A and B are shown apart, each in its own frame.
Chain A
């Protein structure tokens, strides 16, 4: 993995370089936007880490330039500006992720992997979560390489969970996704489907567990 870091605080740059080198990441670092432009033009980077407050401008300006030039470089903003508004504006400017300072190095590495994985996901239709895989094209689910046979509604439920990874899925959303207008929803029908899906995942020893958030909905918990 090759990285470009745009950071004017030299000590911060040095600390990041040392920390990332332990994770096998090669890092070029520049201190201002002008040098960053040259570096991006000359080399191919997997990810650009951008600080926002730079001596010659706001790092987010670079995002628009990169997009215009057609270079598909992934970018993560790493900034001391950490309020919700700052994050929203950074993501709207086109950053793939926004990490407020300070952060743990493991989190940065995890986010970098996630950003790259998302880029790869678009190319490859296979989603991998622990020992479970899901194929977007064939809609097949495998646990430990063995195909998991799911009924239509169980699959719809499972896909709704995958589309909302890391979030609580409201009961109303599940009902909406799983049943059409014409279906008569029996009050316990969703529960029946959910418990079947639960049992199938458990029997296959999947590291995914469906947790009930009583009064709200359900959450697909990924076991470590």
Chain B
């Protein structure tokens, strides 16, 4: 996981926090323990258990003591250690020197269930403990003494039980649980990015779906949607302005054109007429481009044979009037492209118009559909030099600066073809004509 991912930060953060809390609790307990000043000697709480475990029943049915390893260790360590075990059948097991004061008072002590007599710190063996415990030979009253434990050990023991066990549980839950919880809580962000991925930012009016999102994410999402809407409306305003501007130009151009048309024939007049033609072409194509851009592309199946042959039929009269022959040939029975029929027609019309305009007014303009659905428009004109072939698709670039074109036709062709998942290729050399090919990355051709 990336260090900068939210999930990673949450996980690591929470785990560290919990572990710190656990450590702090432990430290606090031991600090308290270190501060506790022991003022009395306490009989060992382990001794009675060790004795009870060591009681066995002999072959004769009598209880005997077989010291366990723990008990042997204690006996070895504490020479003053003593004990008395009273068993139900009157059996009595003793060990060590039972102090006089205890031996004389056994019958008194026996009247209690449990008893614990603490001694002074400087005389640690002067302690007594009575505990009744279940042994293999029945319930035994175990009197012990002569061995003490420190108060530290007790507090440590209690501390371990009170804090240690919960700490282990907590630590385990933390390490295992936090990543899961974090992932669960942050799942909405994954949803958010998924939904953002689905938005087509090219198309106008796209907003992120905000169903079933938690409040925090919803705020981010509302922000994104608001920004998208603002951008959309900004775009619209600009576009409207642009279209209006192009529109508004038409009347002044019309006036200018009429004024020029009324001038007496002269070289100046023909220059002015060329200029006006170009101005008209630019405004028309600007409007054309905007019109195409305003529409989000529909995804309909467009059959190429039918639209290409239609456009060729439409343009044949113009081409013939300009001195060309025109032909159409298709090698694909059926070729489909998903997209906007109007836009594709406009792209093709622009390619053919381009050929008519720059094809040298001679020879044949042939339009073809190849077996893979590619569309070819070939002329026999003067051709295009290598260094210009890249530039012809740039908006407003014109090979012939004195022509009447707007320099927008091929750039529009390129835009439209690209938005349909294709690309335009040029094969041309000076004197050998030009061939423009519209190729599709995804060919959908039927050969039936």
Chain A residues in the interface with B (C-beta under 8 A): 9, 11-12, 15-16, 18-19, 22, 80-83, 100-106, 166-168, 170, 211-217, 219, 221
A14 to B: closest C-beta gap in Å = 8
Q: Which of A82, A105, A170, A219 contacts B261 (CB 8 A)?
A: A105
Smallest Cβ distance from A102 to chain B, in angstroms? Answer: 4
B330 touching A101 by the CB < 8 A rule? no
Q: Is the CB of B317 within 8 A of A101?
A: no
B residues 260-305 with Cβ under 8 Å of A? Answer: 261-262, 276, 280, 284, 287, 291
Given A9-B255, A19-B259, A213-B312, 5 more pairs with CB closer than 8 A:
A80-B250, A211-B325, A214-B325, A215-B330, A216-B312
B27 at the interface (CB under 8 A from A): no
A-B pair count, CB < 8 Å, reads 100
Which residue of chain A is the closest to B315 with respect to CB atoms? A168
Question: 18 A-B contacts, Cβ less than 8 Å apart?
Answer: A15-B259, A82-B287, A101-B250, A101-B254, A102-B250, A102-B256, A104-B261, A105-B258, A168-B313, A211-B316, A211-B320, A214-B325, A215-B327, A215-B329, A215-B330, A216-B309, A217-B313, A221-B321
Is A100 a contact partner of B328 (Cβ separation < 8 A)? Answer: no
B257 at the interface (CB under 8 A from A): yes
Chain B residues near A102: list those with CB within 8 A.
250-251, 253-254, 256-257, 276, 280
Given contacts A18-B259, A83-B287, A211-B320, contact A12 B251 (CB under 8 A): yes
Q: Which residues in window 340-398 of B have CB below 8 A to A?
A: 366
CB distance from B243 to the nearest CB of A (A): 10
Bound CA–CA A128/B330 (angstroms): 38
Residue of A nearest to B319 (CB): A213
Q: Is the CB of B253 within 8 A of A213?
A: no
In the complex, A153 Cα to B297 Cα: how many Å?
46
A164 to chain B, nearest CB (A): 10
In the complex, are the beta carbons of B250 and A100 less than 8 A apart?
Answer: yes
- With a CB–CB cut-off of 8 A, which chain B residues contact A106? 261
**CA gap between A140 and B95 in the complex, in Å:** 151
The residue of chain A having its C-beta at the shortest distance from the C-beta of B313 within the complex is A168
Closest-CB distance, A166 to chain B (whole angstroms): 6
B262 adjacent to A216 (CB under 8 Å): no
**Is residue B91 within 8 Å, beta carbon to beta carbon, of the partner chain?**
no
Contact, CB under 8 Å: B254 / A214: no
**Are A219 and B317 touching (Cβ within 8 A)?**
yes
Are B317 and A214 in contact (CB-based, < 8 A)?
no
Nearest Cβ on chain B to A50's Cβ, whole angstroms? 14
Quick check: B251 and A213 within 8 Å, CB to CB? Answer: no
Q: Are A170 and B313 in contact (CB under 8 A)?
A: yes
Q: Which residues of A contact B327 (CB under 8 A)?
A: 213-216
Whether A12 contacts B254 by the Cβ 8 Å rule is: yes
CB-CB < 8 A to A16: which residues of B?
Answer: 258
**Are B257's CB and A104's CB within 8 A?**
yes
Most interface-central of A12, A101, A105 (chain B CB within 10 A): A101
Pair A101/B253 contact, Cβ less than 8 Å: yes
By secondary structure, the B interface counts as: helix
Chain A residues lying within 8 Å of B321, measured Cβ to Cβ, are 221
- A167's nearest neighbour on chain B, judged by CB, is B317
Q: Rank and list the top 6 A-B pairs by shortest CB-CB distance, nearest first.
A: A215-B328, A214-B327, A102-B254, A15-B258, A101-B254, A168-B313
B258 touches A19 (CB 8 A): yes
Q: What's the minimum C-beta distance from B288 to chain A, rounded to whole angstroms? A: 9
In the assembled complex, the Cα of A220 lies from the Cα of B364 at a distance in Å of 17
Cα distance, A20 to B309, chains bound together (Å): 39
Given A83-B291, A168-B313, A170-B313, the answer on whether A214 and B328 have CB atoms closer than 8 Å is yes
Find the B residue at minimum CB distance from A7. Answer: B251
With A19-B261, A215-B309 known as contacts, the answer to whether A168 contacts B330 (CB < 8 A) is no
B333 CB to nearest A CB, Å: 14
The docked-state distance in angstroms from the alpha carbon of A102 to that of B248 is: 11
Chain A residues lying within 8 Å of B256, measured Cβ to Cβ, are 102
A residues in contact with B255, CB < 8 Å = 9, 11-12, 15
* B258 and A219 contact, CB distance less than 8 A: no
B251 touches A9 (CB 8 A): yes
Q: A215, B312: Cβ atoms under 8 Å?
A: yes
Residues of B with C-beta under 8 A to A101: 250-251, 253-254
A81, A83, A168, A221: most-surrounded residue (chain B CB, <10 A): A168
Q: Which residues of A lie under 8 Å from residue B280 when comparing CB positions?
A: 102
**Nearest A residue to B283 by beta-carbon distance?**
A102
Whether the Cβ atoms of A219 and B316 lie closer than 8 Å is: yes
Q: How far is the CA of A9 from the CA of B325 in the complex (A)?
A: 43
A12 to B258: give the CA distance in the assembly, Å. 8
Is residue B326 within 8 Å, beta carbon to beta carbon, of the partner chain? Answer: yes
Residues of B within 8 A of A105 (CB): 257-258, 261-262
**CA gap between A36 and B402 in the complex, in Å:** 42
Question: Is there an interface contact between B328 and A213, defined as CB atoms closer than 8 Å?
Answer: yes
CA distance A168 to B291 in the complex (A): 28
CB-defined contacts of A83 to chain B, threshold 8 Å? 287, 291
A51 to chain B, nearest CB (A): 9
* Contacts A12-B251, A101-B250, A102-B276; A219 near B320 (Cβ below 8 A): yes
Tell whether B230 is near chain A: CB-to-CB under 8 Å. Answer: no
CA distance A64 to B104 in the complex (A): 136
Distance in angstroms from B281 CB to nearest chain A CB is 11
Within 8 Å of chain A (Cβ to Cβ): is B247?
yes
Out of A22, A100, A212, A219, which one reaches B262, CB within 8 Å?
A: A22
Q: Which residues of A contact B329 (CB under 8 A)?
A: 214-215
Bound form: Cα–Cα A216–B258 in Å: 38
Which residues does chain A contribute within 8 Å of B261, judged by CB atoms?
Answer: 19, 104-106
**Chain A residues near B262 (CB-CB < 8 A):** 15, 18-19, 22, 105
Given contacts A83-B287, A215-B309, A221-B321, contact A18 B328 (CB under 8 A): no
Given the known inter-chain contacts A16-B258, A18-B258, please indicate yes or no for A80 contacting B247, CB distance below 8 A. yes
Identify A213's interface contact among B257, B258, B276, B316, CB under 8 A.
B316
